[in-house]
Amino acid sequence: MNKKVLIIGGGIAGAAAALFLQRAGWETVIFEAGTGGVEAGGGMQLAPNGMRVLHELGIEKDVIESGSIASEMYFRNQKGKQLGRMNRNVQKEYGHPAVNITRAAFHKVLLRHLEEKKIEIQFEKKLVDAGTKPDGTVWAEFEDGTGAEGDFMIGADGIHSKTRRAVLPDSPDPDFTGLQWIAGWLPAGNVPEFDLQSRNLNMTFGRKGFFGYGIFNEEDPLLMWWVNITSDEPLSRVEMTGFSQQSVKQELLELCSGWHKPVETIIEQTTGLIRGNVHDIVSLPRWYSGRTVLIGDAAHAVSPNSGQGASLALEDAFYLAMLLDRCSDDFSLALSRFENDRRPRVEKIVEQGRRSGDGKREMSPFGAWFRDQMLKVIFPLFGERGNRWIYEYDVRKELNRNRL
Ligand SMILES: Cc1cc2nc3c(=O)[nH]c(=O)nc-3n(C[C@H](O)[C@H](O)[C@H](O)COP(=O)(O)OP(=O)(O)OC[C@H]3O[C@@H](n4cnc5c(N)ncnc54)[C@H](O)[C@@H]3O)c2cc1C
Query: How far, in Å, from the CA of 11 to the mean position of ligand 1?
Result: 5
Query: How far, in Å, from the CA of 298 to the mean position of ligand 1?
Result: 9
| The pLDDT of residue 402 | 77
Picking from 126-130, 305-309, 339-343, which range would have the lowest pLDDT averaged per residue? 305-309
| The pLDDT of residue 314 | 98
Ligand 1 pocket member 103 (CB < 6 A): yes
Ligand 1 pocket member 33 (CB < 6 A): yes
| The pLDDT of residue 2 | 66
| The pLDDT of residue 220 | 85
Ligand 1 pocket member 313 (CB < 6 A): yes
Q: Please, which pLDDT band fits residue 1 given cuts at 50, 70 and 90? A: low
| The pLDDT of residue 272 | 92
- pLDDT over 90 (residue 88): no
- pLDDT over 60 (residue 310): yes
Query: How far, in Å, from the CA of 389 to the mean position of ligand 1?
Result: 25
Backbone phi and psi for residue 255, each to the nearest 5 degrees, phi listed first:
-60, -40
Q: Please, which pLDDT band fits residue 306 given cuts at 50, 70 and 90? A: confident
- pLDDT over 90 (residue 129): yes
Query: How far is residue 19's CA from residue 63's CA, in Å, rounded to a whole number?
Result: 15
Parallel/antiparallel/unpaired status of strands 120-122 and 27-31: parallel
Ligand 1 pocket member 44 (CB < 6 A): yes
Q: Which amino acid is at 266?
A: I
Instruction: Select the highest-mean-pLDDT range: 293-307, 310-324, 366-380.
Output: 310-324
| The pLDDT of residue 31 | 98
Backbone phi and psi for residue 316, each to the nearest 5 degrees, phi listed first:
-55, -45
Q: Which residue has its alpha carbon closest to ligand 1 atom 50?
A: 41
Alpha-carbon dihedral sign for residues 352, 340, 173, 11: positive
Instruction: Return all residues near 358 (Cβ < 8 A) that are at least 6 apart.
Output: none
Ligand 1 pocket member 304 (CB < 6 A): yes
| Choice from 99, 128, 157 to test ligand 1 binding pocket (greatest atom count within 8 A of CB) | 157
- Looking at ligand 1, which atom is closest to the CA of residue 12? 25
State the CATH class of domain 4-174+281-399. alpha beta
- Looking at ligand 1, which atom is closest to the CA of residue 302? 19
Q: Kindly report, residue by residue over 158-167, the tens digit of the pLDDT.
A: 999 999 999 9
pTM of the model: 0.94
- Looking at ligand 1, which atom is closest to the CA of residue 296? 26
Alpha-carbon dihedral sign for residues 291, 390, 297, 171: positive
| The pLDDT of residue 386 | 83
Question: What are the boundaries of each domain within the chain?
Answer: 4-174+281-399
State the average pLDDT over residues 316-336: 91
| Choice from 19, 30, 44, 284 to test ligand 1 binding pocket (greatest atom count within 8 A of CB) | 44
| The pLDDT of residue 171 | 95
Q: Please, which pLDDT band fits residue 381 given cuts at 50, 70 and 90? A: confident
Instruction: Select the highest-mean-pLDDT range: 323-327, 333-337, 349-353.
Output: 333-337
Query: How far, in Å, from the CA of 161 to the mean position of ligand 1?
Result: 10
Ligand 1 pocket member 32 (CB < 6 A): yes
| The pLDDT of residue 400 | 85
Q: Kindly report, residue by residue over 198-222, the tens digit of the pLDDT.
A: 999 999 999 988 999 999 999 889 9
Ligand 1 pocket member 48 (CB < 6 A): no
State the average pLDDT over residues 311-337: 93
State the average pLDDT over residues 255-259: 95
- pLDDT over 80 (residue 384): no
| The pLDDT of residue 131 | 97
The rounded mean pLDDT for the chain is: 92
Query: How far, in Å, from the CA of 158 to the mean position of ligand 1?
Result: 5
Residue 44 CB-density burial (10 A; 0-12 exposed, 13-18 middle, 19+ buried): buried
**Do 31 and 148 contact (CB within 8 A), yes or no?**
yes
